[in-house]
Structure 1
């Protein structure tokens, strides 16, 4: 249960803060390209760990956690990319607020999956 509390803190504090840092620059073409690279690198790294070390996945904690964190950062990058695309299309204050709220909330979605899986297992 202590592990779930730690994961909860990481997801509900670290995720929104990372999202905020990624969406801080003005929504320009360069910012969108940087977010594409960010999400792509983390997605390829996480999937690479999962595929290359398939036999050790789930048995080595650091490998598994590293892969999951990489995929989570890719998820946050995709959310930030979507938020910046909406902000670029509609630069108003309401769009900035709503994309910030929804994006920060969206970073926590994987925690609910992990918590649900933990409830089913134990």
Structure 2
């Protein structure tokens, strides 16, 4: 595994779930979810802007951040609607697992080259 792939692996499998878990511990308020939505929109906009300026790695990192925050917002919304602790646990686990999905896209793209 190349050093770049190892760094991407660590980011996807360590930083993504850690960031998501930390954000899901925040109080479930509309202001927090709105702030996350603003960061997602800004990240995607910056990624698209950087795409035209040879900022491929920074753009990928911003898209990854937008993915993790989007998954976290969905999980927060689902957890808000569920009072039973068992589904809340599964929602949390599913969200943490979903944050790792970009790695599989990168690995598949690497295999195609």
Q: Same fold (TM over 0.5)?
A: yes
Distance 1:44 1:22 in 2: 22
Distance 1:43 1:25 in 2: 23
Distance 1:64 1:91 in 2: 42
TM-score by length of structure 2 reads 0.89
Unaligned runs of 5+ in 2: none
TM-score by length of structure 1 reads 0.83
* Structure 2 partner of 1:23: 24
Distance of aligned partners of 1:29 and 1:95 in 2 relative to their CA distance in 1, 3 Å threshold = farther
* Structure 2 partner of 1:35: 36
Q: How big is each residue's C-alpha offset from its partner over 1:23-47, in whole Å with a ceiling of 9 and x where there is no partner?
A: 1112222222122112111111112
The alpha-carbon deviation at position 4 of structure 1 amounts to: 1.8
Q: Is the 8 A contact 1:45 1:67 kept in 2?
A: yes
Distance 1:94 1:35 in 2: 25
Task: Provide runs of 4+ in structure 1 moved above 6 Å.
Answer: none
Distance 2:11 2:82 in 1: 31
Distance 2:91 2:107 in 1: 25
* Structure 2 partner of 1:59: none
RMSD over aligned Cα, in angstroms? 1.4
Distance 2:77 2:70 in 1: 10
SS at match of 1:45: helix
Unaligned runs of 5+ in 1: 57-62
